[in-house]
Chains A and B, each alone.
Chain A
Amino acid sequence: MMIKTEKLTKKYGDFTAVNHVDLQVQAGEFLGLLGPNGAGKTTLIRMLVGLAKASAGKIYINGQIMGRNKGDLKGMIGIVPQHINLDKELTVRENLLFCAKLFKLPKEQREKRAEELLEFVGLKNVEKRESQKLSGGMQRKLMIAKALINDPHILYLDEPTVGIDLTARRKIWDILKTMKNKGKTIMLTTHYIEEAEYLCDKVALMDEGKIFYCDTPDNLKIKLGKFTLEYFNDNNETEYRYFKSLEQAKQEAGLLENEYTLRKTSLEDVFYNFTNRKVN
């Protein structure tokens, strides 16, 4: 097991941000943590990377317990936080070289690794530009490159595509797919349903500090019902009903007098059904 948590809890006074989370992520798995704003996703990630101290519970990385200052375990981890955290005074290349130095890469490897990553994320043509002068999408790519500087086994991404346009988002998805194919264990928080569906092997649904379901996107949908009937009730409110088979759904739809939509169940339906609120 690459990442494992046991009853991981984080409290801020009376408020419980993360509540007894038990999580298991296999090596090479891509796990999506899906939940609305304030669900506790970022706090969970911050504990996993050692930026926040757990109030209770344990974290294991590759079988070893994660302390707050375990240098060797930090060397295995890459993190892309939600906010832009680039050194704005440095150029793109200097940002990478600086990170390589912080991760104590030998001198001969630093330039090579920076070069590889510039090519990989497609920032070679702007390598001499100060990072503060990059577009939002480019800054996000540079953050991913920074997170990969130490060739980590585990990559944590906290809403890596928030606030960027669709084209840049798709490019970042491609980068993440490649990383998955290289065998990296990836944990991604998002509130974009399509992002979780497109990228993740498994999705953990999180709300109010708790993970209440963790399975493959298909299994989550099957558990709820593969088909969704969406219609207006007599009070003009939208109602959803879920069915195992299309025939059942069609049969039920035929009985409705009001307008309806019959469609495949999405992750958003799953989430809505369990939390009774929309993710976005």
Chain B
Amino acid sequence: MEIMTILWREFIFFKRRFLRITLSAVVSPLLYLIAFGWGLGSQINYEGHSYMYFIIPGIIALTTMNTSFSATSIRINISKLHEKSFEYYLTSPVNMYMLTLGFVINGALRGLYAASLILIVAYLFGVKLKITLAFIIICILNSLLFAAFGYFASMVIDSHYEMNRFTTFVMLPMTFLCGTFFSLDKTPILVKNLIYLLPLTHASQGLRAVALEGNVQITSFIVLILYTVIFYFCGVAASFREM
């Protein structure tokens, strides 16, 4: 019931802001594609593929991460700190596990919507990736993971400014380090191992392996599932702390 209630509310929001949401989901990936794909990478072959093919799975991972994280964290942030409407959830007889799941699923859906927009844009750029079930599952897991992380982050902060800490110290390093734009093969082993601890690495590498090689990396699935579960329960625990 709680899940459907949250999705009902968010669908109203989505319908009202359809154009703005759609445009903002497309702008960043489009710029990445133009700058790194067309501009920088049009002449480069990378791991046996044109750079455009190499980069698109990374951009999908990156965009699902950013969109899911923002959709959830901004929503909770506004509801908790600005509107104060989040308190209403806490005074109603909701199941906190289901409520959290509702917000996480909503964030994930927004991430998946952004991912599908990129695939359309990529198609217009002449890039046709192999979209298999494994590819879709990785997208879903990555979206759920970062929506859960966004929920957790927004539950533990006490001001809008504190959200910057998460974006600056967690999201931004992942954007550039997790093999989104380049292969990790040539990075020093210690750095590489550290980067492999980050979930986005597994999303971008997992998507790339499926889309370009047709390989399914089980480790990536396991890591993504583990992170999702951990962030979800951290989010639930943080919600209970609010009460």
Interface residues of A (CB under 8 A from B): 49-51, 53, 68-69, 71-72, 74-75, 77, 79, 81, 83-90, 94, 98-99, 101-104, 146, 150
Contact = CB atoms under 8 A, between A and B. Distances in A.
Nearest to A72: B93
Given A81-B87, A85-B84, A98-B5, 16 more contacts: A50-B91, A69-B96, A69-B243, A74-B91, A77-B91, A79-B91, A86-B85, A89-B12, A89-B16, A94-B9, A98-B9, A101-B1, A101-B4, A102-B2, A102-B94, A150-B92
Of B2, B5, B93, B243, most buried by chain A (CB within 10 Å of CB) is B93
Nearest to B82: A88
B8 A101 contact: yes
Nearest to B84: A85
6 contacts: A69-B240, A85-B85, A88-B85, A89-B12, A90-B9, A103-B92
Main secondary structure of the interface of A (DSSP, over half): loop
A60 to B, nearest CB: 18
Contact of A102 (B12, B84, B88): B88
Interface string B72-88: 00000001000111011
B88 A146 contact: yes
B12 A94 contact: yes
A101 B5 contact: yes
A51 B91 CA distance: 7
Main secondary structure of the interface of B (DSSP, over half): helix
B13 interface: yes
Given A81-B87, A98-B5, A104 B243 contact: no
Interface of B: 1-2, 4-5, 8-9, 12-13, 16, 79, 83-85, 87-96, 240, 243
B243 to A, nearest CB: 5
A71 B8 CA distance: 22
B16 A71 contact: no
A84 to B, nearest CB: 7
Contacts of B8: 98, 101
B9 A87 contact: yes
Contacts of B4: 101
Contact of A83 (B16, B84, B94, B96): B84
State the 9 A-B residue pairs at the shortest beta-carbon distance, nearest first.
A71-B93, A101-B5, A102-B92, A85-B84, A74-B93, A75-B93, A87-B85, A85-B85, A83-B84
A101 B3 CA distance: 10
A150 B94 CA distance: 13
B93 A50 contact: no
A176 B51 CA distance: 68
B89 A51 contact: no
A16 B151 CA distance: 32
Contacts of B243: 50-51, 53, 68-69
A104 B85 contact: no
Contacts of B2: 102
A86 B83 contact: yes
B93 A103 contact: yes
A87 B5 CA distance: 14
A75 B94 CA distance: 10
Contacts of B87: 51, 81, 85
Contact of B93 (A81, A94, A104): A104
B72 to A, nearest CB: 15
B90 A51 contact: yes
A217 to B, nearest CB: 29
Nearest to A81: B87
A4 to B, nearest CB: 19
Contacts of A88: 83, 85
A85 B1 contact: no
A84 B87 CA distance: 11
A102 B5 contact: yes
